Amino acid sequence: MDVDAAADSACAPARTPGPLRLGTREFAPGQPLVMAIVNRTPDSFYRPGLTWDADAALDRVHAVVAEGADILDVGGVPAKPGPEVTVAEEIRRVVPFVERVRAAYPDLVISVDTWRAEPARAMCAAGANLVNDTWSAWDSGLAEAAAESGAGLVCSHVGTLTPRTRPHRPAYEDVIADVSARVLWLARRALDAGVDPDAIVIDPTHDFGKNTWQSLELSRRLGELTATGWPVLLSASHKDFIGETLDAPIDGRLAGTLAVTSVGAWLGARIFRAHDVRATRQALDMVASIKGDRPPARTLRGLA
């Protein structure tokens, strides 16, 4: 966190919890949303190449919508280190696909996982409603690109990382304070750029710029972020901090993912980025019912 941003964070906006407005959709305060992942890459960290073929990717969209996805998150560049993906190639991978999804689902909220302004503009012109900037405003023009397009923006925290790099011994005096300062500062910048305040989301960004201990601390202290009033995105699906905690391979992390999801839902997170949509939807529904926000689907036990 740079000195100016840290100083400015004291003036960063808090928000009275309200609806989240993305595209043509309005989501009520407290309504948990599932953000389904569809990667247009051949080398994603989880199930690489699953949706590299455009037709397979569209089939995946049909499936996750049927399973209860509220938002679709489309990415054209893997977060992990690897071969360069140029701006032109990122646009080629994502823009025609967003157009196909928008034609098939006129009201579906489409998020695009990009950290560069030029692809973001092209993707929003094709029909995207939300720019999911997982690299914490590395491109300083990204907020303006979202605002110009009428799209929402995810404000994230990555410490000192640059795009597609891994953390090396990250250290924070207080990780949640550092995260809070950064994402609230970015929320203020987004407001200044003209992004709709009802379309700004904050993301502590587990694993990015954090070790496992720090991601675990973010998870148990997530309520400090939700208390700011800004909608919080929780992106934990199959991540390394879960794998290290449970000594589980990538394809063996669903139980840990759902545990983090449930804790996050209890603490007030709003959006849950997920590979396993049906299981995530059920976990969120169960937490909502325990909290008293959702009635059981049926109640026959002890009543017949």
For residues 46 and 121, the model is more confident at 121
Query: Does 304 map to a domain?
Result: no
Rounded-to-integer distance, Cα 7 and Cα 93, Å: 39
Q: Which among 60, 210, 273, 281 is annotated as catalytic?
A: 273
Structure tokens at 168: 């090396």
Residue with tokens 């976990």: 283
We report the CATH number of the domain holding residue 159 as 3.20.20.20
Number of domains in the chain: 1
Query: Does 67 map to a domain?
Result: yes
Task: Tell me the average pLDDT of the chain.
Answer: 94
In sequence order, what are the beta bridge partners of 110? Answer: 72
Query: Does 300 map to a domain?
Result: no
Query: Does 262 map to a domain?
Result: yes
Query: Does 24 map to a domain?
Result: no
Q: Which among 93, 239, 253, 281 is annotated as catalytic?
A: 239
The question of whether 291 is a catalytic residue gets the answer no
Average confidence (pLDDT) over 208-236: 98
Range of the domain at 232: 29-291
pTM of the shown model: 0.94
Query: Does 124 map to a domain?
Result: yes
Structure tokens at 96: 């025609």
Query: Does 301 map to a domain?
Result: no
Query: Does 91 map to a domain?
Result: yes
Classify strands 71-75 and 109-113 as parallel, antiparallel or unpaired: parallel
The question of whether 273 is a catalytic residue gets the answer yes
pLDDT band at 11 (very low <50, low <70, confident <90, very high): very low
